Amino acid sequence: MNNFVVGDIQGCYKGLKSLLNKARFNPQQDKLWAVGDLIARGPNSLESLKYLYDLGEHFDTVLGNHDLHLIAMAHGIGEPKPADKLTKLMNHKSFPILVDWLMKKPLAIKPSKNILISHAGLYPAWSISKGLALSEDIQATLQSDNALSFLKEMYGNTPDTWSDDLKLKMRRRFVVNAFTRMRYLNGMALEFKTKCAPSLAPQELKPWFDVHNKKLKENKTLIFGHWASLMGKTNKSNIIGLDTGFVWGKEMSLYHIESQQIIRHSA
């Protein structure tokens, strides 16, 4: 069995299928993992979700910011933007089933002993085990009677710095932001405005993966998406960026865990 991790799909179903064909992905034998943002902005969010859902146990994913926002909108929180091209998906008869399926997904997942997948990365004050525990809390909350109140409260840019003493509402909001929106840090504070490549960023900002994490062992690999302007360039062999901007006309990337090779398909 081969394990593949795909970067941000964002409703680009045809690009996904072309990439999987290029990699000779076998949906009966192999397993596909995803870094989140399965939908939004591309032309075929419905087809993308239905295909991934139908893979059954041969697919798993973490939630990205677009996926979480879709869940919120399904619960009456916020409205879809025309640019996200979600009308067909949200009006389809299978939409409730697909949302329920997404609500069972985590913010962080381990496809193997030494690899962690999340949408935006791992906050540098957390170990992998800490990140997984925080993800499990959010996953359980999304499947609980408190899901609606959580979804209403998850939006916002504060708090921007982690503390174990954060109140529950603020704690969960920070966890969501760190796992799904993080790019740069100013010190240890999340900074959400800057989305450009590191060479163009203000000097006081550092990519999260350039902030030393003393709790991350050297033999561990972090796989993430979310940051198209990086084009996968982290300059670290154990930090794998897979958002290479397919929805913006660039490439979709697929990481083969066993060989540690990346396969790309151009838009």
Distance CA 250, CA 137 (A): 35
SS3 content of the chain, % helix, strand, coil (to 5): 35, 20, 45
Strand 3-6 and strand 261-266: the pairing is unpaired
Confidence of residue 246 (pLDDT cuts 50, 70, 90): very high
Distance CA 39, CA 62 (A): 13
Distance CA 9, CA 24 (A): 18
Q: What is the mean pLDDT of residues 117-141?
A: 98
* pLDDT, tens digit (0-9, with 9 covering 90-100), for 76-119: 999 999 999 999 999 999 999 999 999 999 999 999 999 999 99
Q: Is the pTM of this model over 0.95?
A: yes
**What pLDDT shows up at residue 218?**
86
* pLDDT, tens digit (0-9, with 9 covering 90-100), for 201-211: 999 999 999 99
* Multiple choice CATH, 3-266, 3.40.50.300, 3.60.21.10, 3.90.1150.10, 3.50.50.60: 3.60.21.10
- Given a cut of 90, whether residue 192 has pLDDT beyond it is yes
Where does the chain show beta strands of DSSP type E? 3-6, 31-34, 59-61, 108-112, 115-118, 184-186, 189-191, 206-207, 221-224, 239-241, 251-256, 261-266
Structural domain spans, the chain: 3-266
**What pLDDT shows up at residue 167?**
97
* pLDDT, tens digit (0-9, with 9 covering 90-100), for 153-168: 999 999 999 999 999 9
